[in-house]
Each structure stands twice: as structure tokens, then as C-alpha cells.
Amino acid sequence: MFALNLPQYSIKVQKHNGRAVIFDDLRRKYVALTPEEWVRQHFVHFLIEQKNYPAGLVANEVSLRLNGTAKRCDTVVYDLKLRPRAIIEYKAPHIEITQNVFAQISRYNMVLKVDYLMVSNGRQHYCCVMDYEANTCRFLPDIPDYDELQK
């Protein structure tokens, strides 16, 4: 589909009713293969296989209520006590990651209050750690290993 700045993995793609679908290991079902979904599946596999995130503590399409409206986080990562620790937002590879993308994920964080916000279009990946005392965030040079989220 698209070349990404992420490791390859054993992708399960097939046609269903004339449309391409990709298997989501976390949701245990085939989902529509969109450019954003292509990025999500690669990024999730990267987290699990390269950054040691436990698959059982990573969830796709997590629903939440924001100002009385139903929203969905693309991916949420939980700690060992099942508290949300990171929100991840994906964009299609051709979509530029702008301040608007961080504004979107920040709105979700008003509800979940996680310490890490990640954004990826499959080619560029950003992660910032929140400092709630100073009301700021600091960008990290790399996506942290799961152990770092536990600190």
C-alpha cells in the first residue's frame, strides 16, 4: 500500500465484498484497509514487537465522551494497573502532522489525562510527555519503550 518508516510484519490482507480489509490482532477481526488503518497496524506491531508493549495493554478505537459527544481514540496504551498512560493518533501517510493533530489528541487527553501523547503518519512519529504541574509538554527524541511508560 504505502512505504512507511516502520518495520514490516506479517500482514493479513484480503478482500471482503470487493473491499480490501486488514486483520487487527488487537480487535481480533478484519477491518477496512484505509491509509490510516495501514499506519495503525504497522505502528501497533512496532510498539509490541520493537518497544515491548504488552498486546493485552494496547487497545484500538477506545470510546470516550468529550463535552457530551462520543469520540474515539485511535489507540490507548494502559499500564500494569490498567490506567491509561498514552494516547496515539494516526494519520494517513500523505497527511502532514500539524498543530491541529496535537490539538485533537490534546482534547482526548482532557478526558483520559495520560502522560504520553503520540502521533504518527507512518513516516514521521512524534511523542511528547506531559508535565501537568508546569502545564507544558516536552517532545521526546524517540518513541519510548514500554518500561519508560511505567515510571
pLDDT tens-digit readout, 111-151: 999 999 999 999 999 999 999 999 899 999 999 999 998 87
Share of the chain above pLDDT 90, in %: 83
Lowest pLDDT segment from 18-22, 100-104, 139-143? 100-104
3-state helix, strand, coil in the chain (%, to 5): 25, 35, 40
More confident residue, 3 or 28: 28
CA 32 to chain centre: 17
So what's the pLDDT on residue 66? 86
So what's the pLDDT on residue 78? 96
> Residue ranges per domain, the chain?
13-149
Quick check: 55 pLDDT over 80?
yes
Residue type, 71: K
Give dist(CA 35, CA 121) in Å, integer. 9
Nearest-10 Cα torsion for 87, 92, 97, 103: -50
Contact 88, 120 (CB under 8 A): yes
13-149 CATH fold: tt1808, chain A (3.90.1570)
So what's the pLDDT on residue 13? 95
The model's pTM is 0.94
What average pLDDT does the segment 76-102 reach?
Answer: 95
pLDDT tens-digit readout, 36-54: 999 999 999 999 999 999 9
What is the residue-averaged pLDDT of the chain?
94
Contact 64, 71 (CB under 8 A): yes
